[in-house]
Structure 1
Amino acid sequence: MDAIDVYATTGHLLRIGDMFPEFTFGPPNENCQASLIPGLSAILAALAASCDEPQLWALWLSGQLLKHGGWCAVDALLTGETVLVLERARNEDWSWTVDDLP
């Protein structure tokens, strides 16, 4: 088992089937190695507490949710708003649908 599989099976990385969505990786570090978006594992744990559908987590993370004024979790994480994203993930009621995405 390689490192990426360990991260996925321990809940630190989003896996959908055999795929890992590109948006879950931040910019490469100084050694040109991929890095995870800061705070991703805590966000995934919060989302998993209320929904057991990784596909929905992916939509929630990458979509611009009209429910939140077009806000996008991945963009917020990349700008350091981890606390806001974690708060929204913990309070997600999954009342939105794909129709709520622009």
Structure 2
Amino acid sequence: MRIDWKGIIVPKVNELLASFSYRPTLRQIFYRLVAALLIPNTEVTYKGLSRATVVAREEAIIDPLAFTDRVRTSQGGDYGFGSPEDFIESALDDLRDSPSQYTRPMWTTTQQ
């Protein structure tokens, strides 16, 4: 059985992604496709789906952030801002939130 990844499966993946209210894992999508009898439940097919969705995300057919990855973790984070405007908006948000962050040293508030 030859699987038409680009013509049938990737559009179905997009359809399934739209049905979730959160970012599913690739494995969740895989089992939905298996349950719909669109692909066989094999490791080779799972790897094929993974490759097909990588290509589809690179080509912007599928949202690059469509899937969550609960296995891999990252150290640190993606620091920085997309634009000077994003930086300014973040700084203004911090400034607006500053009253809730204000505290006085404990010894200045104790009664004598």
- Superposition TM-score, scaled by structure 2 size: 0.25
Higher helix share: 2
Task: Please tell me whether Structure 1 or Structure 2 has the larger radius of gyration of its CA atoms.
Answer: 2
Give the TM-score taking structure 1 as reference length.
Answer: 0.28
